[in-house]
A = this chain, B = another copy of it.
Amino acid sequence: MMLTDIVKHLIKSDSIGVISHVVPDGDALGSSRALGLALEKMGKRVIIIKNDQTPQKYNFLPGVHLVVESDSAPFNADTLAVLDCGDIERLGSGILHFKKAGTVLNIDHHISNTMFGNLNIVDANAAATAEIIYQVIKLMGVTVDLDIATCLFTAIAADTGCFRYDSTTSVTHSIAGEMISIGVKSNSICNGIFNTRTYQQTKMLGKAIESIKLFHEGRTAVMSISKAVMHKAGCGQEDLEGIIEFARDIKGVEVAALIRETETGDIKVGLRSNEYVDTSAIAAFFSGGGHKKASGYTVNSSMEDAEFMLLEQIKKKYR
């Protein structure tokens, strides 16, 4: 599958729905908005399908006029572009649109992608799906304006920890530099994504740090957040973005985990590694997915059992 096949299909499509995963992050939102705005500039009928709440810190993203609630979206587009989404379960209520779609374009950078589309472009070397969307937009012949640049830059900055993660390549920097030339305010975007926290989020961070326990001679750090702690802090799961990094960044730690109880009582586990452990293999053991250094899964158990089972799997990864 070539990128040009996706581009050719978009060029001949009249109406396109753009969708991404639930619990959207900066890449999901920024990639969707960028593609939506570019398609609009080409004169296409385009909607961005909203299947989950947008974290407040991303409210500045342009292209909100294209966004339609998933439930109320009268979907009759000939093409559905699914972005940054490793499998269709991550579409949440948006799965209805997937079922109704004529052609599904699957554009992603998760190595675990299940290739659910009619056309699939999965580039695990891309630091963000937005890097692929950047290529798509260029190949469609659309000029990247400040609005599109803001969306692309935000997506890339969010998915690379502002150019810190080692997924960051020379391509990543090259695109970022071009976006700054176009007028993107990189500092306010990076600060908006990473530095500012509400009082509740700050308190939640404190609680999460308090919960950190070390295992395996300090190589594994586990954070645990119960539903009760979330309620008491007045936080939702969108307030936890980035919190796991405080466990990953502890000197000597190789694998960090965030074990969290959801509203329904399921346990969600996020994983991060620093150097050599492939966390996506651990996530896959529990039917989850992701990247080598960032992955996750859901289990139906107690928090204690989830921790016990996880530690067993992590232990096997140390040589």
Using CB atoms and an 8 Å cutoff, list the residues of chain A in contact with chain B.
Answer: 162-166, 168-174, 176-178, 180-181, 185-188, 190-191, 194-199, 202-203, 205-210, 212, 214, 218, 221, 245-247, 249-252, 274
Nearest opposing residue in chain B for A246, CB measure: B202
Q: Is B164 within 8 A of A190, CB to CB?
A: yes
Contact of A165 among B174, B187, B208 (CB under 8 A): B187
A199 surroundings in chain B (CB, below 8 A): 212, 214, 218, 221, 250-252
Q: Give me 5 A-to-B residue pairs in the complex whose CB atoms sit less than 8 angstroms apart, sorted by A's number.
A: A164-B195, A168-B186, A169-B177, A205-B209, A206-B210
- Write the nearest CB–CB distance from A113 to chain B, whole angstroms: 23
Q: How many copies does the complex hold?
A: 2
Contact pick for A173, options B174, B197, B202, B274, CB 8 Å: B174
Residues of B within 8 Å of A191, CB to CB, are: 164, 249, 274
> A interface, by DSSP: helix, strand, loop or mixed?
helix
A206-B209 in contact given A173-B176, A190-B164 (Cβ < 8 Å): yes
Provide the bound-state CA to CA distance between A146 and B245, in Å.
Answer: 28
CA distance A59 to B191 in the complex (A): 29
By beta carbon, the residue of chain B nearest A179 is B170
Residue from B176, B202, B250, B274 within 8 A of A198 (CB atoms):
B250
- Say whether A196 contacts B163, CB under 8 Å: no
For the complex, give the distance between the alpha carbons of A185 and B169 in Å.
10
- Smallest CB gap from A182: residue in B: B170
Check A171/B177 contact, CB under 8 A, given A198-B251, A202-B250, A205-B209. Answer: yes
Question: Among the listed B163, B172, B180, B185, which residue makes an inter-chain contact with A170, where contact means beta carbons less than 8 Å apart?
Answer: B180
Chain B nearest Cβ from A178, distance in angstroms: 6
A186–B205 CB distance below 8 A: no
- Once the chains bind, are A169 and B180 in contact (CB under 8 Å)? yes
A168-B180 in contact (CB<8A): yes
**Knowing A198-B250, A246-B205 touch, does A173 contact B177 (C-beta < 8 A)?**
yes
